[in-house]
Chain A
Amino acid sequence: MTSDLIGYLIVGAVLFALGALGFLTRRNVIVAFLSAEMMLLGVTLNLVSFSYAHSNYQGQAFTAIVLTVAACEAALALALVSALYRMRRTLDLNAWHDLGEPEPESAAEVPEEETPQPPQHFPRLTPAGNVPPTAPLAQKKPLETSTRV
C-alpha cells in the first residue's frame, strides 16, 4: 500500500536519466547545459515529492537552494559560453579538449635529442717531477696543455 509518491519519483528519475543522456551526447554547449539543468529539475522534483510525503518543508527549502545555485550557474555559464565563443567561434564542445594528453603517435615521434657532451678532462696522476728535458716546467704552463698523457 503505497502512496502516489512513487509516480513523482519515477518522473524525477526519468528526467534525471534523460538529462544525463543529453549531457553525454549533445555537442552543443547550450544544449548540454540545458540537459544538466534538466537533471537538476529531476532532483528538485524528487525533493518536493519527499517534502510532501514527510509533511515538512525541508525538501522545499533544499529546492529553493538548488534554484539559487541554478541561477548562479546560469549567469556564470552565460559569461563563460560567450567568452569561449569569442575564442573559438564555435559552440562545439569537442573544440575544447585541452585537458587531454597528446596522441601517442605524436609523443612517440619526438626524436631523442643527442645533447652534445662536453669533453671530460680527468686529471691524471703525474709521475713525480718528471720534467721534460728542455722545456720549462709543464706545471707552469696554462691550463689546457698541462694534462699529461
Chain B
Amino acid sequence: MNAILEWMIDNRGILVPPVFGFVALYLLLPREYGFWRPVGIAFGVVAVGVLGFLFGPAGAPLHGALFYLFAGVAVVAAAATVTFPNPIYSALSFAIVTLSVSGLFVLRGAMFLAATTVIIYAGAIVVTFLFIIMLSRHPGNAPYDRHAREPFLASLAAFLLLSILLFTLADWRQNPFGQPTAATTKPAVAAKRSVDETPRTGAGSVAANPTPAGTPRAGAGFIPIPPSLDPYPHSRMRADEPSPLRGLGRTFFSDYLFVVELAGTLLLVAGVGAVAIAPRRVRSRAKPPAN
C-alpha cells in the first residue's frame, strides 16, 4: 500500500490528466440535470492543459503551434462527441475530430491519407449518419440520448486504459529503445536499470551510425532493422522522392499488392451485403388475402 502511494506521489504529474479527465468526462456525460457541467469543463481544461504541458513536441515553432492547434481541437472535439446529448452535435463534433486528425496527418507527411480521411469520414460517414438521425428523429432529445449508460464504470475503464497508455509512453520517452540510459532518469532507478537492462542497451551503437535512407529518424527511439533483413524493401521512404504519394503508390503495388486486392474484394462484398441487408419496401401483395 505504501509502495503504491509513494509511486503515485512520484508520478503525480502524469496522474493528473487521467484523473482530471476522468472527473471531467464523468461530470460531462449526458444526464438529466446539467448542473455540474461547468465544473466538468473546468476539470477538462486542466486535464488537457497538463497533458499538453507534459507531452508537448519539441521541434520547429510552426510545427509545434500547428500540432497544439490540431491536437487540442481533436481532443476537445472528441470529448464533445462523446458528451453531447444531441446526436447531431455529436456527429458534427466527430467531423471536427476527423478534420483535426487530418491536420495531424498532414503534419506527419501523409497528405493522401489526410485527403481520404476527410472524404470518407467527414464526407461520407458523418453525412450519411446525419441523414439517418434526421430520418429517425424524435421530437427533442430522445430519452436514451439524455441518459448515459453506466457512466462511472465506463469512465473508470476508459481512463484506466488511458492512464496505462500514458504511463507506458512516458516510460518509453524516458528510456527509449536503442538509446543509452537517459540522464533524465532518477539516479536510483538509473543505477538499478543499468544493472537490469544491459542487454537492452547493447543496441545503442546503432545511434552512432549515420542515418541511411529508410532508417528511423534520429532520436525516434527504435532499434532499426538492418536493410538486408527488411522484408519490405519497397516500402522505405527515399530521400530523392519528389512526392510521398509516389512512395505510397509503390508500397501499395509492390509489397502490399495482395492486401490491396483483398481490400477491394472486401469493399465489393460489403456493398453486396449492405444491399442485401437494407430493408425493402413492403409490397402490398405480401399481405395475406382477407377472408
Q: Give A contacts to B, CB under 8 Å.
A: 1-11, 13-22, 24-28, 30-31, 33-35, 37-38, 41, 44-45, 48-49, 51-58, 60-61, 63-65, 67-76, 78-83, 85-86, 90-94
Check if B113 sits within 8 Å of A60, measured CB to CB: yes
- B27 on the A face (CB < 8 A): no
Check if B267 sits within 8 Å of A72, measured CB to CB: yes
Query: A14-B51, A33-B129, A71-B267 are contacts. A4–B113 as well, Cβ < 8 Å?
Result: no
* Dominant SS among interface residues on chain B: helix
- B65 on the A face (CB < 8 A): no
Residue in B98, B148, B157, B263 whose CB lies within 8 Å of A20: B157
- B13 on the A face (CB < 8 A): no
Check if B82 sits within 8 Å of A18, measured CB to CB: yes
B179: chain A residues at CB < 8 Å are: 1
Query: A19-B78, A54-B220 are contacts. A25–B29 as well, Cβ < 8 Å?
Result: yes
Query: A72-B266, A91-B136 are contacts. A58–B120 as well, Cβ < 8 Å?
Result: no
A24 to B154, CA, bound (A): 6
Contact with A along B117-148 (1 / 0, CB 8 A): 10011001110110011001000001011011
**Shortest beta-carbon distance, B284 to chain A, in Å?**
17
Check if B55 sits within 8 Å of A10, measured CB to CB: yes
Check if B162 sits within 8 Å of A17, measured CB to CB: yes
Residue in B25, B144, B161 whose CB lies within 8 Å of A28: B144
A20 to B21, CA, bound (A): 14
B275: chain A residues at CB < 8 Å are: 79
Check if B75 sits within 8 Å of A24, measured CB to CB: no
**Shortest beta-carbon distance, A9 to chain B, in Å?**
6
A4: chain B residues at CB < 8 Å are: 57-59, 63-64, 67
Q: 26 interchain pairs (CB within 8 A)? A: A3-B221, A4-B67, A10-B169, A13-B165, A13-B169, A15-B78, A21-B82, A27-B145, A28-B145, A30-B133, A31-B81, A34-B91, A34-B94, A35-B82, A44-B113, A53-B222, A57-B248, A58-B251, A60-B251, A61-B252, A68-B263, A73-B270, A74-B120, A74-B124, A91-B136, A93-B149
- B32 on the A face (CB < 8 A): no
Query: A17-B161, A79-B274 are contacts. A31–B90 as well, Cβ < 8 Å?
Result: yes
